[in-house]
Structure 1
Amino acid sequence: MAEEVVLMKGNEAIAHAAIRIGVDGYFGYPITPQSEVLETLAEQKPWETTGMVVLQAESEVAAINMVYGGAGTGKMVMTSSSSPGVSLKQEGISYIAGAELPCLIVNVMRGGPGLGTIQPSQADYFQTTKGGGHGDYRVIALAPASVQEMADFVKLGFDLAFKYRNPAMILADGVIGQMMEKVVLPEPKPRRTDEEIIEQCPWASTGCKGRKPNVITSLELDPAVMEQRNIHLQNKYAEIEANERRCEEIECEDAEYMIVAFGSCARIAQKAMEHAREEGIKVGLFRPITLWPFPAPEIAKRAKQVKGILVVELNSGQMIEDVKLAVECNIPVHHFGRLGGIVPDPDEVVDALKEKLIK
């Protein structure tokens, strides 16, 4: 399996990348618009080539707890779902974060609340960046804007998850999951041996022959000890915030106005930026790649040069709160979004920019 350029959906790219980078196990459950992840893995049958386990669990709750078990042994394990399914996984995600285990979770968002619609949305931003489940914990969140990034972020997500012993999430929307583009798949590499896992993950539950047992748990009944555990987690999150912020800036150097958008909305916003510049309006695009840690210092720096910011999202206004906090109310920040699975066109974004900021 040499490096090659292929045409595929974003969901399919997730599956192919997982096989190629040596993932040990996938545990999931079908739900639109992410079902192709599981379907592609089943079609590729990696258990016959790399030895990767692919299992359709009986439910989303079962799937995330299988991930919990696999992660506790130091294996590279992952799951994928869409908005309601990820809600069902939240208790397990909190347990995994509390036990400081690495794993990868993929959420290809659909509209809500409730069962909502199978059309695309970005309304899981709060759930993803503010914890989602119970307790003070964080999930590293990567927001791809292309099929190529869907493939690339599988490795990046695992790299960050193992570096910090923390769950990582690829937060895509239905547009990115379902669209087809050219993608360069990663070079294949074998799965790690048991000996390599023991060497790289001394904390893992791999059998305690020759060492003291490793206890994988998020439970601690002594409040003083639990407080210290929480302080340790908060210090780790501060380290992630300091070192792992990622973003993309396009035409921001001379911008008088700035659009902030992620995922599919960033692609729409880029075309809107081009249209606005054709009309003589100097607009730049700021795309957060990590939704947590959020690139607040980078936005704050750009905010010093622009007259206002338009935040474009497929929701009623969620990331805008982090943008407002970043700029500390020094300049106007307005929101434009569509709901119910309706994806705006670039001219709508330009019209919103004019109406809200250039009056």
Structure 2
Amino acid sequence: MKKIMMKGTEAIGEAAIMAGCRNFFGYPITPQNELTEYMARRLPEVGGCFLQAESEVAAVNMIYGAASVGKRAMTSTSSPGFSLMQEGISYIACAQLPAVFVNIVRGGPGLGDIQPSQGDYFQATKGGGHGDYRLIVLAPSTVQEAVTLTELAFELADKYRNPALVLADGLLGQMMEPVEIEEKQVSYDNSSWALTGAKDRPPRKVTSFNIDPYELEKMNLQLQEKYRKMEQEEPRWEEFQTEDAEILLAAYGTVGRICKSVVKMAREAGLKVGLFRPITLYPYPYKPLEELAKRVSLILTVEMSSGQMLEDVKLAALRLTRIEFYGRMAGVVPTPGEILDHLMQLVGRR
């Protein structure tokens, strides 16, 4: 199959269509507008439904409705818009419905700016809305990986009947790279729960409301069991030159990509540095990071935030090795040179 040049946002849209998505509801916000525009053009060509909602709140509830009847549905937004969707996402998680969300993260807090950021990590991984729920969270570092993880998001959403999130940033959303996208064999069974009319079967109910606290607790226990299964079966990560590493960089998404250059530069300077890049931010790959932490003298966590993934790195490795942090905020992208300089200072080489 030939590779074609595509912008990150548009590649995510095409990947969703190839994965069987035929329903997109969204509201414009930079820097993900190209994804919405792409779906507006492409979905009618494949017999799908595109609808620009009047707000992000409306969009997430349209997703709720489409998912209830067993349709593969998706929306995309950027940070402030994703914040507005949190109540609806909590409803969808409680109703145990599959749906896919894309957040092309921008600088914040507040309205912020339209530059790339990773400041939405807590919101994505710790449950940004109310209640005890989790999202499946996937973090690509290249446009090709954004394609692969979008396809995976639909698969995992259906497998666990749970909302899944592709968490990227403005840099990845706007860059163009060659990608391969092919149509997938879409197969999922929603016959036991989708609301398709009760002519030939007993009635069903999809809801996120239960007035009886004991019944609601039973539902919560079912959710927690599902999350434990995710944590056992779904962690994904990449290791780069960790075989002999004495120092480890921990980074995800775009910064994980930048840190590969830092690893190469550091090794040229005589430091045995490797990279641990989580691909699933939930479920987080704690165990492989813990094993690496036992072999290294230092972990430097690098983020485009004030240090949000840092907390998960500490959960995995705090008592095993020294942990340090380097971050830029508000849409400032760290360069390989400045990360290397900080690392050199930490090891006493500057």
Which of 58, 81, 84 is the matching residue for 2:77?
81
Q: Where do 5+ consecutive residues of structure 2 fail to align?
A: none
Q: Compute the displacement of 1:151 (Å).
A: 1.2
Tell me, in whole angstroms, the C-alpha distance in 2 between the residues paired with 1:275 and 1:343.
18
Residue 24 of structure 1: which of 12, 22, 37 is its match? 22
Q: Is the 8 A contact 2:31 2:170 kept in 1?
A: yes
Partner of 1:13: 11
From 291, 313, 317, the equivalent of 1:323 is 313
The answer on 1:349 being equivalent to 2:339 is: yes
* Contact 1:27/1:57, CA 8 A, preserved across alignment: yes
Distance in 1 (alpha carbons) for counterparts of 2:13 and 2:157 = 18
Residue 90 of structure 2 corresponds to: 94
Whether contact under 8 Å (1:20, 1:187) holds in the other structure is yes
The residue number in structure 1 matching 2:36 is 38
Kindly indicate whether residue 102 of structure 2 is the aligned counterpart of residue 106 of structure 1. yes
Aligned to 1:142: 138
**Which amino acid in structure 2 is aligned with residue 352 of structure 1?**
H
Pair 1:206–1:4, CA change in 2 (3 A): farther
**Residue 328 of structure 1, CA deviation:** 3.4
State the 1:16 CA deviation: 1.2
2:156 paired with 1:202: no
Identity %: 54
Deviation at 1:81, TM superposition (A): 0.1
Query: 1:270, 1:131 → 2: CA distance?
Result: 30
Cα distance in 2 for partners of 1:225, 1:342 equals 47
Counterpart among 323, 326, 336 of residue 326 in structure 2? 336
How far residue 329 of structure 1 moved from its aligned partner, in angstroms, is 2.5
Per-residue CA deviation, residues 134-167 of structure 1 (Å, 9 max, x unaligned), is 0000000000000001111121000000000000
1:187 to 183, 204, 219: 183
1:329/1:358 Cα in 2 relative to 1: closer, same or farther (>3 Å)? farther
The answer to whether the 8 Å contact 1:152/1:186 transfers is no
Pair 1:133-2:123 in alignment: no
User: Residue 154 of structure 1 aligns to a residue in which SS?
Assistant: helix
Aligned length: 349
Distance in 2 between residues matched to 1:287 and 1:352, nearest whole Å: 19
* Whole-angstrom CA distance in 1 between matches of 2:268 and 2:75: 43
- Counterpart of 2:44 in structure 1 is 47
For the residues of structure 1 that align with 2:130 and 2:202, how far apart are their CA atoms? 31
Unmatched tracts of structure 1, length 5 or more: none
Match of 1:230 in 2: 220
SS in 1 for 2:106: strand
Deviation at 1:277? Answer: 0.2
Structure 1-normalised TM-score?
A: 0.95
Match of 2:247 among 257, 273, 281: 257
For the 8 Å contact 1:314–1:343, the answer to whether it is kept is yes
Does the 8 Å CA contact 2:157/2:163 hold for their aligned counterparts?
yes
Report the TM-score, using the length of structure 2 for normalisation.
0.97
Contact 2:19 2:154 in 1 (8 A): no
In structure 2, what residue type is equivalent to 1:185? I
Contact 1:147/1:183 (<8 A) preserved: yes
What is the rounded CA distance, in whole Å, between the counterparts of 2:317 and 2:274 in structure 1? 16
